A and B are shown apart, each in its own frame.
Chain A
């Protein structure tokens, strides 16, 4: 579906409000929206909500052979998908620019910063390494996809547990989760992206723009930092020209924000771990059911299936037996067989119609198809048709040649 364009008065309204340091949802210039992190029942599954922007992240792993030039390192694979659920404009074929930009940014942020120790993912050097795959799905778009996606990715990676592997000499044993507890990934630091939107050629800036603000912004600066105040990635897009002081100021703000977000992530991870250890119920079922007043939950209930068998028997007894299917294949020549007779010819009597198109009147006569049946007759060679051999009749051609396989093998040459 096409995106509805932003009206001029809405654009002017937003820009005027920003000039007066006001935001539509009442936030301050440097305020983030509420971040909510919830985990699923599988390890490595999480949903991050940044205001109304929602991203689902899932990490999975597989044993593969390593890349040829990096024989001792595991493989990391990131994939962000903009589901059509997120916005009507995100059609499956149409979002390539934005998608490529976000994916690339995410990869640079997580892969190039070496936040995950890929050497620890090696099982047998040169032969088997772990391939870690991070799938992110955008469920709802309300601005600032990259921040939500980076938080979801890092949370999912921290939450994920891979199966335990032991190597003894040449033997490699892969333990299932029941045999040995799965092992977390080794993560050095947590890079988190912070977005800054610029308006009026860099005069005004906003942190964490929402969807409306993104539509009217001039440019975007994305800074990925970790809590040790190390910058992992910087990207400035939109063609705005920033001064050095502006970039430094943004990095200071980002440092503060990242520290807060990292603390939030740690707390969420700890909570989930506690619940799992204590054996309580975890997963989306619990977190969603408690949070929303419109959520409705029904406990599992056994179903009374005692009368099922009787009902089934009744139905079968009353049902008619299936009509007998008689299939007697007739072999005309090697490679040509016929099953059944086909339906009656409904083209009408062919006697008056000629091959040329002039005689269109012939086809309009609408000759009724009473007794026209397609009889084909070639001598039946093999399999059991009890019908007597039938003579070929219908064809209107003068010269009719019946090819009979037994009689004319020589002519074919």
Chain B
């Protein structure tokens, strides 16, 4: 379900404090077995921090987390702002901000191409970037999207076309320790039984994503 490539470039701006990581993650493809030449969703993420924060934004006992999501075409609008907020809430639940009070951690996401399951891809990219930057976190997290179409079939990581035709699209952010739910956002009509089914399916899927994280990080650190 995930054909994913993780690319890491590193540049340290300041040896002690800042750390920059660039990661491309997440090319979501169709979960059904036939190969169709679909587009890929990819998001580039970069993390700056813990770094200096403006006095107006500083929090005395935690790090200020900022998420910036830039779309590929046009100027950022309300949809981007709402996604930024969802991603920020997820990151804040996971990042140990109290270890770096009065600093700022900025996550910058740039959409490189969008072919469905964008929010899940952004979440994965953000997590990998935070790990690469060395920001302390209590667990990793991943994003999984489910789509329910009109006859109740569950599809994981739908493409843009499937998302448009689906009856409901649900995106979950799950943590890595106990697969608990960190964030969920849904669109459309579904029953509570279907919600639980989607959540269980997402939890099963998240195992693959976490395995992918582990293997790609192993690969990366074995070469440097």
Beta-carbon contact of A298 and B4 below 8 Å: yes
Question: Is residue B130 within 8 Å, beta carbon to beta carbon, of the partner chain?
Answer: no
Contact of A294 among B7, B52, B68 (CB under 8 A): B7
Known: A294-B7, A299-B3. A84 touches B24 (CB 8 A): no
Task: Compute how far the CA of A285 lies from the CA of B115 in the bound complex, rounded to whole angstroms.
Answer: 13
Bound CA span A40–B42, Å: 10
Contact residue among A1, A79, A296 (Cβ-Cβ distance under 8 Å from B51): A1
Q: Which of A58, A288, A294, A305 contacts B220 (CB 8 A)?
A: A294
Q: B88-116: which have CB < 8 Å to A?
A: 104, 106, 108, 110, 112-113, 115
The answer to whether B196 touches A315, judged by C-beta atoms less than 8 angstroms apart, is yes
Structural contact, A133 and B6, CB atoms closer than 8 A: no
Q: In the complex, how many angstroms separate the beta carbon of B14 from the nearest chain A beta carbon?
A: 7
Q: Mark B20-53, 1 if CB is under 8 A from A, else 0.
A: 1010100101110100010110101010100110
Partner of B27, one of A1, A58, A83, A285: A285
Closest CB in chain A relative to B171 CB, distance in Å? 16
Would you give the shortest CB distance from A167 to chain B, in whole angstroms?
Answer: 26
Interface check A244, CB cutoff 8 A = no
* Per-residue B-contact encoding for A282-307, CB less than 8 Å = 1, 0 else: 01110011001111111111111101
Among A134-142, A234-242, A256-264, A345-353, the stretch in contact with B = A134-142
Partner of B46, one of A85, A294, A309: A85
Say whether B193 contacts A312, CB under 8 Å.
yes
Shortest Cβ gap from A19 to chain B (Å): 28
Residues of A within 8 A of B18 (CB): 88
A355 within 8 A of B: no
Query: What CA separation (Å) do A2 and B55 show in the bound complex?
Result: 13
Inter-subunit contact A303/B1 (CB<8 Å): yes
A164 to B104, CA, bound (A): 48
Query: In the complex, which residues of chain B have a beta carbon less than 8 angstroms from the beta carbon of A311?
Result: 196-197, 200
B196 touches A295 (CB 8 A): no
| Interface assignment of A308: CB less than 8 Å from any CB of chain B | yes
- Beyond A1-B48, A296-B212, is A303–B31 a contact (Cβ under 8 Å)? yes
CB distance from A79 to the nearest CB of B (A): 8
A285-B196 CB under 8 A given contacts A81-B70, A303-B205: no
**Residue B180 is within 8 A (CB to CB) of chain A in the complex:** no
Q: A60-B73, A308-B197, A309-B197 are in contact. Are A284 and B42 (CB under 8 A)?
A: yes
Q: How far is the CB of B219 from chain A (nearest CB, A)?
A: 5
Complex-state Cα separation, A84 to B107, whole angstroms: 9
Q: Is the CB of A305 within 8 A of B68?
A: no
Kindly state whether residue A313 has any CB partner on chain B within 8 Å. Answer: yes
A206 at the interface (CB under 8 A from B): no
Q: A300-B29, A300-B30 are in contact. Are A312 and B196 (CB under 8 A)?
A: yes
Q: Are B30 and A83 in contact (CB under 8 A)?
A: no
Partner among B1, B7, B156 whose Cβ is within 8 Å of the Cβ of A295:
B7
CB distance from B170 to the nearest CB of A (A): 13
User: Closest CB-CB distance, A38 to chain B, in whole Å?
Assistant: 11
Q: Which of B13, B73, B115, B223 contacts A133 (CB 8 A)?
A: B73
Chain A residues whose C-beta falls within 8 Å of the C-beta of B24 in the assembled complex: 284, 288
* A297/B115 in contact, CB under 8 A: no
* Residues in chain B near residue A308, CB distance under 8 A: 154, 197, 200-201, 204
Check A296–B68 contact: CB distance below 8 A: no
Complex contact A316–B193 (CB within 8 A)? yes
A294 to B73, CA, bound (A): 29
Q: Known: A83-B70, A305-B204. Contact between A88 and B13, CB under 8 A?
A: yes
B8 at the interface (CB under 8 A from A): yes
The residue that A139 contacts in the complex, of B30, B44, B75, with Cβ under 8 A, is B44
* B201, chain A: closest CB distance, angstroms: 5
Cβ A83 vs Cβ B112 within 8 A:
no
Q: Are B220 and A45 in contact (CB under 8 A)?
A: no
A92/B68 contact (C-beta < 8 A), A41-B39, A308-B197, A316-B192 known: yes
B74 contacts the other chain (Cβ, under 8 Å)?
Answer: yes
CB-CB < 8 A to B220: which residues of A? Answer: 294, 296
A359 within 8 A of B: no
Is A56 at the interface (CB under 8 A from chain B)? yes
Asked if residues B68 and A84 are in contact (CB atoms below 8 Å), the reply is yes
Contact B72 A58 (CB under 8 A): yes
How far apart are the CA atoms of A158 and B6 in the complex, in Å?
Answer: 29
Indicate if the CB atoms of B197 and A42 lie closer than 8 Å. no
Instruction: Say yes or no: A302 contacts B33, CB within 8 Å.
Output: yes
Q: Shortest beta-carbon distance, A158 to chain B, in Å?
A: 18
Contact A41:B40 (CB < 8 A) given known A1-B51, A303-B1, A303-B208: yes
User: Do residues B7 and A288 form an inter-chain contact, with CB atoms below 8 A?
Assistant: yes
Which B residues are closer than 8 A to A by beta carbons? 1-9, 13-14, 18, 20, 22, 24, 27, 29-31, 33, 37, 39-40, 42, 44, 46, 48, 51-52, 68, 70, 72-75, 104, 106, 108, 110, 112-113, 115, 154, 156, 192-193, 196-197, 199-201, 204-205, 208, 212, 215-216, 219-220, 223-224
A288-B24, A303-B156 are known; give 15 further A-B pairs, CB within 8 A: A2-B52, A40-B112, A47-B112, A83-B68, A88-B48, A283-B113, A284-B42, A294-B219, A295-B6, A297-B3, A297-B4, A300-B1, A301-B2, A303-B208, A313-B193
13 pairs from A and B in contact (CB 8 Å cutoff): A4-B13, A45-B113, A56-B72, A56-B110, A83-B70, A133-B73, A288-B24, A293-B223, A294-B7, A304-B204, A305-B156, A312-B193, A316-B192
Q: Which residues of A are in contact with B by a Cβ distance under 8 Å?
A: 1-2, 4, 40-42, 45, 47, 56, 58, 60, 79, 81, 83-85, 88, 92, 133, 135, 137, 139-140, 279, 281, 283-285, 288-289, 292-305, 307-309, 311-313, 315-316
